[in-house]
Chain A
Amino acid sequence: MPYKCVHCSKLYEDGSEQVLKGCDGCGRKFFFYIRKDQVDKIRENEELDVELDAVEKKQIEQDVREISGFEDEEVPVFLDFESVKVIRPGKYAVDLGNLFATNKPRVYKLEDGKYIIDLSTIKISERQT
């Protein structure tokens, strides 16, 4: 079974020598077992929380502007759900549930705390109901 360092959350495959020698990240020898399917889930989430450099952030903002059709530089902030999440340039996660919902606006997440909200999609749904 794989291991996870209790202190710094670093993951190790079954039989890794770090379990005996100490964690690469923090040097501690305190681990807990985790199931294989949990490892996949953790890795997936790690992928969603990558650090982006300034160039990548700029690129993402540019891509999202093109996707959403917003040429205006003003960026509205907030909302606690996202329809389209840009993980890094060229990598997207689409929340179909949100996109299909006619009563919710489309929200594009650029990075933590920075969003574009397509208000025109609310107007459409209001007209339909």
Chain B
Amino acid sequence: MFKLLKKFSARIFGGLFRKKDNLKIGFYGPPNAGKTSLANKICKDWTGEDIGTVSNVPHETRNVQIKEKVEIKYKGKTLMFKLIDTPGIATKIDYENFMKFGLKKKKAKKRAKEATQGIIEAIQWLDDMDAVIIVLDSTQNPYSQVNITIIGNLVARKIPILIAANKIDLKKSDVKKIESAFPEYEVVGISAKEGKNIDEFYESLFKLSKKI
């Protein structure tokens, strides 16, 4: 009888929590906002490994990168998810911009082609996401076509959002501007590079997982 009960409860609770174990959380945003820096910070903190390379040259991430089973423990709670870092979304990709960073013409053109391919791939993945962290550069104007299009489409797909306003270590950072641009969503100011406010970010991440 006890065995039977145990089996029954395992099936019920197993079924209840199965979805939560396979959560897919995507990192989206414009190029150079710090998506990979934040993804690296989380992966390094909880798995000990990086997920991808970072660079000052925009569109460094040109393929979707996945880290399976990232387990975060915070204040006695545990959250397990699949972390999906995506290429930066942009409306214009111009190889000449990459040449300003010292890239040769041929390499710059190749990067532009791969970046365009990356944008398509990032958008294709959107329907698979359970929740999305939108990483924005808090030194930049948040009222851009890219930001508004990404957020609008996530809302239309009913995917829960958390906005990470990155680069708060920089003087020009203005988290309040991002908060007033997107007042319906939780905004957490962080510096992925310096690890500033990362505990608050993890707390928000747990709140986000409850919305799924």
Binding site for B on A (CB under 8 A): 63, 66-67, 83-84, 89-97, 99-100, 102, 106, 128
Contact = CB atoms under 8 A, between A and B. Distances in A.
B94 A99 contact: no
Interface of B: 89-96, 105, 108-109, 112-113, 115-117, 119-120, 123, 126-127, 145-146, 149-150, 153
Contact of A91 (B112, B117, B126, B153): B112
B152 to A, nearest CB: 8
Contacts of A90: 94-96, 105, 108-109, 112-113
Contacts of B149: 96-97, 100
A128 to B, nearest CB: 7
Nearest to B95: A90
Nearest to A121: B124
Given A67-B116, A90-B113, 12 more contacts: A67-B113, A90-B96, A90-B105, A92-B93, A92-B112, A92-B113, A93-B92, A94-B119, A99-B119, A99-B123, A100-B126, A128-B127
Nearest to A106: B120
A100 B123 CA distance: 6
A-B pairs with lowest CB-CB distance, top 10: A90-B95, A90-B109, A92-B93, A100-B153, A96-B149, A90-B112, A92-B116, A67-B117, A99-B123, A91-B94
A94 B95 contact: no
Contacts of A92: 92-94, 112-113, 115-116
A96 B123 CA distance: 9
Nearest to B123: A99
B116 A99 contact: no
Contact of A94 (B90, B105, B113, B150): B90
22 contacts: A63-B113, A66-B117, A67-B113, A67-B120, A84-B120, A89-B95, A90-B94, A90-B95, A90-B109, A90-B112, A91-B94, A94-B91, A94-B92, A94-B93, A94-B116, A94-B119, A95-B91, A96-B91, A96-B145, A96-B149, A99-B119, A106-B120
B121 to A, nearest CB: 10
Contacts of A93: 91-92
Contacts of A89: 95, 109
A23 B126 CA distance: 52
A96 B117 contact: no
Contact of B95 (A67, A91, A95, A96): A91
A80 B126 CA distance: 25
A107 B42 CA distance: 36
B134 to A, nearest CB: 14
Nearest to A84: B116
Contacts of A67: 113, 116-117, 120
A16 to B, nearest CB: 26
